[in-house]
């Protein structure tokens, strides 16, 4: 190829005209010999993340067509891993019937959670600091946040992944 990989992608993620040229897309340029064996090796894949340190995508990330339902501890341990997608905090309580229904739906069918959506379970009874930060006064409240933790949207009452996704901005 005539251009470096970083030149092929434009800032919006689209391929440049040069990268899409007949020469760049030729059989020779696309052949398996043109691909580095290191980039195609199983060592290039990480076991738990979307990308290995060298930028190779993990097999799980390539195969995943669903979003995620995780707990607050998992989210806080690696917030950066969720920056590219939509993050919704779900303030719920174990004693709340509609919270239980939503939890059951999200856990029983994780494939129903749209790709790119991460729902983070937050214990309503033990998260006073977060409740204060987002003005949460009742359980079964959802807060969509950006990569910096700023509130983008807030609502109550969703019980399915589809209902949650429809409320996001």
CA-to-CA distance for 91 and 129, rounded, in angstroms?
12
The answer to whether residues 108 and 158 belong to one domain is yes
C-alpha distances in Å from residue 139, one per residue of 23, 122, 167: 58, 10, 17
- Same domain for 42 and 82, yes or no, is no
In 3D, which of 169, 149, 164, 146 has the Cα closest to residue 67?
Answer: 164
Judge if 46 and 73 occupy the same domain. no
Residue range(s) defining the domain that contains residue 55: 5-62
The domain boundary residue, chosen from 16, 37, 62: 62
Asked if residue 45 and residue 14 are part of one domain, the reply reads: yes
Are 52 and 23 contained in the same domain? yes
pLDDT in tens, 94-122: 999 999 999 999 999 999 999 999 999 99
**pLDDT digit string, tens, across residues 118-145:** 999 999 999 999 999 999 999 999 999 9
What's 159's domain CATH number? 3.40.30.10
């Amino acid at each position: 190829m005539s251009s470096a990989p970083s030149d092929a992608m434009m800032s919006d993620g689209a391929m440049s005209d040069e990268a899409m040229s007949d020469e760049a897309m030729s059989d020779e340029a696309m052949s398996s010999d043109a691909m580095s064996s290191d980039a195609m090796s199983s060592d290039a894949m990480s076991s738990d993340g979307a990308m290995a340190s060298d930028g190779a995508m993990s097999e799980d990330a390539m195969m995943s067509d669903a979003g995620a339902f995780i707990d607050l501890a998992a989210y806080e341990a690696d917030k950066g891993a969720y920056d590219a997608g939509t993050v919704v905090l779900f303030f719920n309580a174990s004693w709340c019937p509609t919270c239980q229904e939503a939890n059951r739906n999200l856990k029983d069918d994780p494939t129903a959670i749209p790709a790119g959506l991460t729902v983070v379970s937050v214990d309503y009874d033990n998260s006073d600091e977060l409740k204060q930060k987002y003005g949460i006064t009742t359980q079964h409240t959802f807060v969509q946040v950006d990569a910096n933790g700023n509130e983008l949207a807030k609502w109550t009452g969703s019980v399915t992944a589809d209902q949650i996704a429809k409320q996001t901005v």
